[in-house]
Amino acid sequence: MNIVNILEEIEKVDGEIYERLNPRRKAMKEFYNFGSKVAMASVPLAIGSMFKKAYGQTVTPAVISILNFALTLEYLEYHFYNHALLAAPGLLTPGTPAHGAITTIRDHEKAHVDLLAGAIRAAGGTPVSFEYAQFDYTGKGNFNSVYDNYVTFLAVAQAFEDTGVRAYKGQAGGLMGSPYLEVALNIHSVEARHASHIRQMRKATAGGGVNIKPWITGANDSGVAQVAAVYLGEDNVNQANITITNINGQNVPVSAATESFDEPLTRAAVEGIASLFIR
């Protein structure tokens, strides 16, 4: 276990991790020196200490529950991409842009897993843990070719990423006043970039040539009926009790009105979507 590598991975998610630990950015050196002097069995103690210093504040069980909820989604995404890269021959050709993109996204999801798990421990909670075998990426038989067909793989990936974006937004209110709101929002923005990139991969000829934009337009623009629940409410054209399609007397297209705002998903809705893929 290399603490320097762990810190570098966390920095991808939380760019201010070093400032949280030490305003002079000595954290990497300090923890590297610590790790070189102790037995491997003691390294987790150093990592726990790091998270406690960076994020450790007294938090409520409700906040820990939200963090574990987010961690579950990150495991779902990480194992999905990791299996595609390591155990699905022919799906992604090494050296291609698609392979590179999925590798980057997989690495981001692993960084999210590590960050959330460490933050939960620092808060005195017990992080959930999932192995690949605990997930059913065929979606109870709805996507049997998910690891054999690149087009199907991307369709499922889009559903996961779009769900993640809406899920984090839906839980932001429950993290208000806690030190973890900023962490969740940082992850939220990365998930949004993932969603946009996956959508552009689907639009490419190799991805199926799907007529889709980098952002959600209306209700279920994915073209996949089985994931309609991911997009419920995205056809909303009313924000803060203002009808966007007629704002200030202007005729705004419904498509533009729905594209302008992301709608949150409730935890219950997200858990319902995820249940399709959890054994």
Residue 42 scores a pLDDT above 90: no
Mean pLDDT for the chain?
86
Give pLDDT tens digits for 73-115: 999 999 999 999 999 999 999 999 999 999 999 999 999 999 9
- Helical ranges in the chain per DSSP H: 3-13, 17-21, 27-37, 43-55, 61-87, 97-122, 150-171, 181-203, 254-259, 267-274
pLDDT tier at 41, thresholds 50, 70, 90: very low
Residue 54: its pLDDT value, please?
Answer: 53
C-alpha to C-alpha distance for 202 and 146, rounded to whole angstroms = 14
Which candidate, 279, 142, 141, 165, places its Cα nearest to that of 230? 165
Give the Cα separation of 36 and 3 in Å (integer).
Answer: 9
Flag whether pLDDT at 38 surpasses 70.
Answer: no
Q: Closest Cα partner for 112 from 63, 71, 57, 159?
A: 71
Condensed to tens digits (0 to 9), the pLDDT of residues 137-162 reads 999 999 999 999 999 999 999 999 99
Q: Where are the domains of the chain?
A: 1-55, 56-234+259-274
Statement: residue 37 has pLDDT above 60: no
3-class SS of residue 238: strand
Which of 13-22, 41-50, 142-151, 166-175 shows the lowest per-residue confidence on average (mean pLDDT)? 41-50
Q: What does CATH list as the number for 56-234+259-274?
A: 1.20.1260.10
Model pLDDT, residue 43: 47
Look at 14-18, 51-55, 166-170, 201-205 and tell me which has the smallest mean pLDDT. Answer: 51-55
**Higher pLDDT residue, 2 or 252?**
252
pTM of the model: 0.79
pLDDT score for 44: 47
